[in-house]
Amino acid sequence: MTLVPDLPQGNDTAFTALFTPLKLGHRTARNRIVHAPMSVCYGDADGNVTRPQIEHYARRAQGGAGTVITENFAVNASGRQMRLQNLVDGEQRLPGLRRLADEVHRHGALAMVQLVHAGRYAGPWDVYDSRRRLAPSAVPFPLTSDRTVTPQEITPEEIEETITAFGQAAHLCERAGFDGVDLHAGQGFLISGFLSPRTNRRTDEWGGGFDGRVRFLLEVLREVRRRTGPDFVVGVHLMTDERVEGGWTLDNALRLAPLLEAAGADFLFGVPTSFETMRLPANSGLMDRHGYALTDNSALARATSLPVMVGGRLGDPHAAARALEDHHVSAIALARPLFTDPDWPRKVSDGALDAIRGCSCATARCLRTQLTGAVCEGWPAETIERGYLGYDDHDDERVRS
């Protein structure tokens, strides 16, 4: 399946690499610009898709992104982290999911959902001890800078239930018309918790050595593949390197990559560190470096024949194009650049680089407002007041929820 129309390519050939088609499994995106998952929390408290959310993602497709991946949607209530996070846990979610997929497709982009179980980071955090927070092992960790908590060890029965939940959620996404899903195996959420020897201290078949620690991810992937059709795209958002002594390493990720390919993955999207380890002094400033994920993803691309997406401060169009040309990766994933200016792809295609609206706030307002609905300091005042950057014409009947 190929979605059109393509963006017209301007006279400047410096960005040609960004605007060639991208094959993902049996689907083809019109270009190599991906809207990367970024939590904006425009859903409702019941976990449903809303009109602001539909407009948000569709507007990024309208602006020219070839593939739009949503923020992480939880596969069940036990895996939900934030109060306004979407759930993909039953038939009642289908109408909203369909409207979202259809509206993204209307603007010519592939539409995908990132699926997650938050594991030990499940919320609400203010009542963390009120119910089971599932992790591979009951290892204390700093939930916030001033609070250490201990999750519960997930039982074998809960493991099987969670694997099933991922498969059911992916099937719902397929029925809703999405082109694929991105399985979140990074940042310290449940799947990546199984990968790390720091957080997985089990001695059963779900822990121990490398084979036991990667089993959960592989079983989730196989279950998703079993419940979806051959044309449905399945990617893995993979923690490449925990960047801490005794943790998951890049060598581990490179060893895992061919196993993911064999189990049916269609693309990889590597991200270094976890929420916990990014705060360590040794990793201070990492996320502020332009292209901080390029080295790891370039190595992933060499370890497998799968397409590899890379993000991490690549909003400069020249840097994005060079990443494709010099680092063996297949696509550029942009979160904040497209949040700030959804027309980034069209402006780059037209050579109108001076017209790109960049992120200007020192302390990111999108992060400070994330839990209640993210806004950007660089938006026009009326857009900030509305609370999201959607269509210019807000009376479009096709997106009414």
CATH classification of the domain holding 327? 3.20.20.70
Is residue 5 in a domain? no
pLDDT at 301: 97
Is residue 77 in a domain? yes
Is residue 78 in a domain? yes
CA distances in angstroms from 312 to 144, 208, 215, 393, listed in the order given: 23, 32, 28, 32
**% the chain with pLDDT above 70:** 94
* Confidence (pTM): 0.95
CA–CA gap between residue 399 and residue 401 (Å, rounded): 6
Report the number of distinct structural domains present in the chain: 1
Is residue 247 in a domain? yes
Mean pLDDT throughout 66-89?
98
pLDDT at 2: 44
Instruction: Give the DSSP per-residue string, 153-197.
Output: EPPHHHHHHHHHHHHHHHHHHHHTT-SEEEEEE-BTSHHHHHH-T
Look at the alpha carbons of 134, 140, 142, 146 in this order and tell me if their dihedral is positive or negative. Answer: positive
Strand-pairing partners, residue 29, are 22
- Classify residue 47 by burial, with Cβ atoms within 10 Å: 0-12, 13-18, 19+: buried
Q: Give the Cβ contact number of residue 284 at 10 Å.
A: 10
Query: Can you tell me which residue has the tokens 């089971």?
Result: 132
Query: Can you tell me which residue has the tokens 């401060």?
Result: 313
Can you give the residue range of the structural domain that contains 271? 15-399
Is residue 7 in a domain? no
Is residue 163 in a domain? yes
Calculate the average pLDDT of the chain: 94
Least confident of 9-18, 41-50, 262-271: 9-18
Is residue 4 in a domain? no
Residues 83-140: tens digit of each pLDDT: 999 999 999 999 999 999 999 999 999 999 999 999 999 999 999 999 999 999 999 9
Is residue 9 in a domain? no
Q: Give 392's pLDDT tier (boundaries 50, 70, 90).
A: confident
Q: At what angle do helices 250-262 and 210-227 cross, to 10 degrees?
A: 30
